[in-house]
Amino acid sequence: MTFADALLPLLLTTVAGLSTGLGSLIVLIVRNPGRWFTAFMLGMAAGVMVLVSFVELLGGAIAELGFLQASLAFFAAMVGLFLVDVMTPHVFMSERQTTGASRLARTGTMVALGLAIHNFPEGLAVFASALSSLELGLVLTLAIAIHNIPEGIAVAMPIYAATGSRRQAFWVSFYTGLAEPVGALIGALFLLPLLTPQILSYLLAAVGGVMVFISLDELLPAAHKVGDEHPIILGVMVGMIIMTLSLALLR
């Protein structure tokens, strides 16, 4: 494979990844988000995370590894994150001492990290597909670009709600999307010969466990502090529906 062969696949992967930033723009267009909008968007972020985790990440790992092994990786990650949360020195950061804003900022950072890890193999997928067939690469690029827009919302919303900074929310979301071209570049140089489907499936199942934990422990409680249950559950449903439709394009 020459540099010229890899150039267009890398470009397509970059387009797919940077569409995450479009999701953050949807959040930032609203100049003065009220409690209803904030609760709705936090619920939507949770819906995106939960559906991606169970349907795409855990579901794909089960198909590759089997139900028990994939589930063990999923729950091991949840338990590990729970232990980290419990063992964090509460002298410095207890739930009573931590403000709602700082908890939201931490949540946004964790969401960004989880989705960045999730985006990494997507970059490998777009790159490999475009190498084998330009038409397939274009279709997959479009599908993942659409799929990444609500993920951008999931990253930007808690950051914006915590900091009030449109610039910070946008750039964190933007950098999360960069994991896809980075994944493609590293894959092109090193990983494709070494990364087995089994290792990748264990990793993705664990990422799914992390994202479900974040949704249940951080995003939904934060949403309930902001607004009542109706915009939250509506946001969860809308997020799940959008992600279902975007995943359907990947089939």
Place of tokens 């910070």: 168
Tokens encoding 45: 């972020």
In whole numbers, what is the pLDDT of the chain averaged over residues?
Answer: 79
Mean pLDDT of 110-118: 77
- Identify the pLDDT of residue 97: 41
Q: Write out pLDDT tens, residues 84-104.
A: 777 754 433 334 444 566 767
Element (H, E) at 141: helix 134-163
Could you tell me the residue ranges of all domains in the chain?
Answer: 3-250
pTM comes to: 0.66
From 166, 89, 131, 126, select the one nearest 14 (Cα to Cα): 126
